[in-house]
Amino acid sequence: MSDELKRDAALWISTTGLRHWRGEDAKIYNRTESTPYKGLDKLFEEYKVYENDAFVDFGAGRGRTSFYVHDEFGIDVSGVELHELTFDELMKNEERYLRNKGLTSSNLYFEFGYAENYKIQPQDTIFYFFNPFASSIFQEVVENIQNSLEKNPRMADLILYYPENSFKRIMKKTKFKRIKTVRLPWKKDPKKKFIIYRYDPDNYSDELAE
């Protein structure tokens, strides 16, 4: 059994394999593919999660990152996914994860639909993106996040896995500051890395951002 399958089995989930969008959709929505477990291990060796954090996965796929974070840290985790078949698999994974972990209720929340329509909650603090969609959609989601941070000021982080240049350009125009890069040296493709951005309302002034 491959390492990825073993890690899935430990969480009682099934998250391997790719699923592509068809036709016009494929131009703006990216395929389902889970973040590698080894990558998640490395990210969370170098990035600290606090008990009051709440994690949101935009384009949650089959839920690997969501279940990993929930299992490791026990914090609130939300995910939004647009592909019907993928969302069905996510729901099955949630059912098996909860049943086998003996959890009758949980602080996991999954929504079927558009990431750009997800209503950012005032407690949400970590926003995760594994290259889910076109930059025009990312721009909209980032605007939603920034509006929420302005309405309910709080420290918040945004994490990109496999960051596209267009996403990095959008982040440069926000109030987030790039604070860390977590590389995966065993991967040949240099895009297989995490970039972490932080919004700190106490350290932000418009002058500094100029």
Ligand X SMILES: C[S@@+](CC[C@H](N)C(=O)[O-])C[C@H]1O[C@@H](n2cnc3c(N)ncnc32)[C@H](O)[C@@H]1O
What residue ranges bind ligand X (CB under 6 A)?
29-30, 32-35, 57, 59-61, 64-65, 80-83, 86, 114-115, 130-133, 137
Task: Give least dist CB 156 to ligand X, A.
Answer: 18
Task: Give least dist CB 81 to ligand X, A.
Answer: 5
- Whether the CB-CB separation of 34 and 16 falls below 8 Å is answered with yes
Task: Give least dist CB 204 to ligand X, A.
Answer: 28
Round the CA-based radius of gyration of the chain to a whole number and report it. 17
The separation between CA 204 and the C-alpha centre of its own chain, rounded to angstroms, equals 24
Minimum CB distance to ligand X smaller for 161 or for 199: 161
Q: Is 71 strand, coil or helix?
A: helix
Minimum CB distance to ligand X smaller for 114 or for 204: 114
Task: Give least dist CB 167 to ligand X, A.
Answer: 13
What is the rounded distance in angstroms from the CA atom of residue 94 to the CA atom of residue 204? 38
What's the distance, Cα to Cα, between the start and end of the chain in Å?
Answer: 53
Query: Which one, of 81, 76, 35, lies nearest residue 61 by Cα?
Result: 81
Residue number with the smallest Cβ distance to ligand X: 59
Number of residues in the chain: 210
Task: Give least dist CB 162 to ligand X, A.
Answer: 8
Minimum CB distance to ligand X smaller for 143 or for 203: 143
Residues contacting residue 89 through CB under 8 Å, at least 6 positions apart: 14, 62
Minimum CB distance to ligand X smaller for 59 or for 163: 59
Minimum CB distance to ligand X smaller for 58 or for 199: 58
